[in-house]
Chain A
Amino acid sequence: EPEVTQTPSHQVTQMGQEVILRCVPISNHLYFYWYRQILGQKVEFLVSFYNNEISEKSEIFDDQFSVERPDGSNFTLKIRSTKLEDSAMYFCATTAQRDYTQYFGPGTRLTVL
């Protein structure tokens, strides 16, 4: 069964550093999403992306965050200058159509020291 994959599985970085989290969507999927989950808390929506542009974003997705699909396969989330409070699991999700059944990747655990 096709799966969403994410790399790395765990990223440790120093505060103020830039990180790029990568996602490979299921091949025929066109809608892409990033979520984050701080330990013990809810899964929170960050951003949705379609046709090479952001469709929706939450208040969390401020100027420190950006997304792109640089090569037609990977979908990336960049945090320009990480803060301690950015430590969380980051999940990528994708769908074939703009419907509700999103397929989630296994997540990247980001630890900011």
Chain B
Amino acid sequence: GESVGLHLPTLSVQEGDNSIINCAYSNSASDYFIWYKQESGKGPQFIIDIRSNMDKRQGQRVTVLLNKTVKHLSLQIAATQPGDSAVYFCAETGGSYIPTFGRGTSLIVHP
């Protein structure tokens, strides 16, 4: 069936490095994608989104890239900080306002 998944379950980086978290999706009808950050003991927190008519969107220190040809989504975090340590989920929707979440990637930032 259709699914949203992540390539790597854990990513370890040094403070100050750039981080890239990847996500693959298989539902070609998906038209909206969201990245969430989940810190320990908290609920998912919206980070950034992108619609299918775009291939790049930038926020504060974060950039989301969308490659519809290969159905791939990535989250880039610039100058990663210890406070960025969390689990990051990609989610996709295909017309419904209900996001389908991927499994999550744990980002560990070493000082």
Contacts and interface: CB of A to CB of B under 8 A. Distances in A.
Contact of B49 (A42, A98, A100, A105): A100
B44 A104 contact: yes
B97 A107 contact: no
A104 B45 contact: yes
B9 to A, nearest CB: 10
What is the interface residue range for chain B against chain A? 20 to 34
A102 B46 contact: yes
Nearest to B51: A100
B61 interface: no
What is the interface residue range for chain A against chain B? 20 to 34
Interface in A8-52: 33, 41-45, 48
Contact of B98 (A41, A42, A45, A106): A45
A91 B49 CA distance: 20
A56 B95 CA distance: 13
Interface of A: 4, 33, 41-45, 48, 56, 91, 93, 98-107
Interface of B: 32, 34, 41-46, 49, 89, 91, 93, 96-104
